[in-house]
Amino acid sequence: MIRILGIDPGLKTCGWGVIESANGRLSFVAAGIIEPPAKGKASLAARLAALHREITAIIAHYGPAEAAVEETFVNNNPRAALTLGQARGVCLATPALQGLEVAEYAANKIKKSVTGVGHADKTQIQAMVKLLLPKAGLQCTDAADALAVAICHAHHRGISERIAVA
């Protein structure tokens, strides 16, 4: 059995989800969102620090062995892309600093792993997460996306090592 933390990075709202994977079976552990202080109420550094603290607390509480983070979606707005990239950096570094192996997955790969379609919308992701993890219930879109990242990792983790062994 392996416990996996999935993260859907964001500086306004960051989704997180923890699942367990054992012998191809998935089970829901927990999920939620992190909402750092709003822009204008705190500096960028303070907002990033809040994100780091919350992810650290989630790792300490749920004890995942591995983490997976969604790759950045390229945005037309360079400022928004840069800010998202900084939040994503915290989402990658925090689990790594806690000793977890961290994987990254493109949004299309996550969607295809969970729904079978690489361009699924948010409602399709939510529905499939609820179907695959019935105890998760209906999560908000950011938490459902984070659970989808964890599900994707459960399906793809160690695949290159298995291919090398074969």
Reported as a single tens digit per residue, the pLDDT across 59-80 is 999 999 999 999 976 667 888 8
Residue 158 has pLDDT above 90, yes or no: no
Q: For the chain, what is the domain count?
A: 1
Q: Using CB atoms within 10 Å of the CB of residue 106, give its burial: 0 to 12 exposed, 13 to 18 middle, 19+ buried.
A: middle
- pTM of the predicted structure, to 2 decimals: 0.93
Q: Hey, is 44 helix, strand or coil?
A: helix
Percent of the chain with pLDDT strictly greater than 70: 93
Residue 140 DSSP label: -
Q: Using CB atoms within 10 Å of the CB of residue 153, give its burial: 0 to 12 exposed, 13 to 18 middle, 19+ buried.
A: buried
pLDDT bucket at 138, cuts 50 / 70 / 90:
confident
Antiparallel, parallel or unpaired: β 25-34 and 14-22: antiparallel
- CATH label of the domain that carries residue 146: 3.30.420.10
Q: pLDDT tens across 75-113, in order?
A: 678 888 888 899 999 999 999 999 999 999 999 999 999
Q: pLDDT tens across 5-46, in order?
A: 999 999 999 999 999 999 889 999 999 999 999 988 999 999
18 is in which domain, residue-wise?
2-165
Q: Which residues are catalytic?
A: 8, 70, 142
